[in-house]
Structure 1
C-alpha cells in the first residue's frame, strides 16, 4: 500500500527516512512529502498550496493509500479525507487531532517577518521532548523550517461529511489511548467524535516518534495499513 507521510510544523519529508526504510522492508511504499513552504524558499506558500500537494500525492497513488499526519499535519491528513473520501483506505493521526472547520490550521506561536519560526524547547518541556537527548534537540531545532504565515494562519475548511466514513487510527505517543478516548468522549475532538471507525495505537515515545522510534512507528503504521 502507498503510505503518504506528512510531518508536522517545521519538518519536511526528510524526517521520515527511518520510518520509510522500515515500511519498505515490510512491503509498503512510503511517500514522504515535502510541501510548499518547507524549505523551497516559498515563504508565501498557503494552506491551500499544501492541501493541493497532499491531494496530488493521493491522486498519484495506484490504489487507495493511507494518509499519515503528524502533529499539526493531522489537519492536513483529515483535509485529504474531506476532499478525497472515496480514495483513502485510512487516515493515521500521530500525536495530534483534526482541526475543526473554520479554525486556523496552526496559529500556535509568534509570527515574525511573515513566518512562524521554531519557538525553542520551552513550550515542549515534559512528555513531548522527554525522549530527545541534547544532540537530537539541537539537530531538530537547527533543521527546523519556519512555517509561512499563510499556512499557519490558514483557515481549515471541511465540507464533505463522507470524511466520517474514512477509517482512522489515532497513534498515541506522548499521551495514552485512554486519554485520547477521554478527549473524544468529552467532546474536545468533535471531528473524531463523529468518525464512524476510530482505532487507537500506543507507542511509548515523545512527540516525535519518527525521530526517536522510527522502526517501531513504521510497524505501527504498517499494522494500521494492513487492517490489524
Structure 2
C-alpha cells in the first residue's frame, strides 16, 4: 500500500525518517511530504493557505496507483482529512497521529506571526505533558530542524463537503489524551468533536501505557511504536 505521511506544523518530510523504514520493510511504499511554503519567507509564502496544503496531498494521491493510506500528525490531521474529503474513493485508511478529525470550518490554531510567517514558537509554549518524553538533546535537534510555515495555514478554515469521507476506516493513535477520554467524547459529541462522533469505522489506539510519558511528537521519541501502530491500523 502507498502511505502518504503529512507532518504537523514546522516539520518536513525528513521528520518521518525513523518511522518509514519499518513501513517499507513491511512491504509498503512511503511518501513523506514537505508541505508548500515550509521554510519560505513571506514574499514567497503569503499566498499559501490550507487549501494549498490539501491540494498538495490530493495531487500525491492522484499520482499513485493502488490503495492509499493517509497519515497526519497534529495539524497534518486537518490536511489529510481535507484530502480524504476530496478523494474518498481513493483512500483505504486514514491515521491521525495525536490529533482529531476536524469539523468543517475548523482551523489548526492561532500562533504568533513574525515577519509574515509562523515560526516554531519554542518548547516552552507547549504543555509539559506534550513534551515530557523529549529529552534535551531531542528537543534541541528538533527545534534546530523546525521551519516556519505560511501565515495563513494555521488559521485558514478547512472546508469539507463530501460525507462519504466518514465511511473510510480511520485510526486515532493517541499519545497525550487517554483513549477512554476520547471514547467519552464520542458519546457526548460536543460540537467541536462532531466529526469524530460521525465516523463509521473508527479505532482508537493508545500509544503509551499507564504512567508512561508519550508526548505530542512520538515520531521523535518512539518512532518504532508509531510505525507498529500504523502497520496494525492499515494491515
Given candidates 48, 65, 68, the residue that maps to 1:65 is: 68
**Residue 152 of structure 1: aligned partner:** 154
Per-residue deviation, 1:2: 0.7
Root mean square deviation of aligned Cα: 1.4
Per-residue deviation, 1:153: 2.0
**Residue 19 of structure 2: aligned partner:** 19
**Residue 220 of structure 2: aligned partner:** 211
Per-residue deviation, 1:150: 1.8
**Residue 91 of structure 1: aligned partner:** 94
Given candidates 76, 80, 90, the residue that maps to 1:77 is: 80
Contact (CA 8 Å) 1:28, 1:222: kept in 2 or not?
no
Bigger Cα displacement from structure 2, 186-195 vs 34-43 = 34-43
Bigger Cα displacement from structure 2, 41-50 vs 177-186 = 41-50
The 3-state SS of whatever aligns with 1:67 is: strand
The 3-state SS of whatever aligns with 1:128 is: helix
1:128-150 deviation line (CA, Å, top 9, x unaligned):
11110011111111211112112
Name the CA distance, whole Å, in 2 between partners of 1:40 and 1:114: 10
Contact (CA 8 Å) 2:40, 2:149: kept in 1 or not?
no
The TM-score normalised by the length of structure 1 is 0.94
Q: Which runs of 5+ in 1 are unaligned?
A: none
Per-residue deviation, 1:40: 5.0
Q: Which runs of 5+ in 2 are unaligned?
A: 209-213
Alignment of 1:1-228 (within 5 A): 1-40=1-40, 42-44=44-46, 45-103=48-106, 105-188=107-190, 189-204=193-208, 205-226=214-235
The TM-score normalised by the length of structure 2 is 0.91
1:40-63 deviation line (CA, Å, top 9, x unaligned):
554222212111110011112211
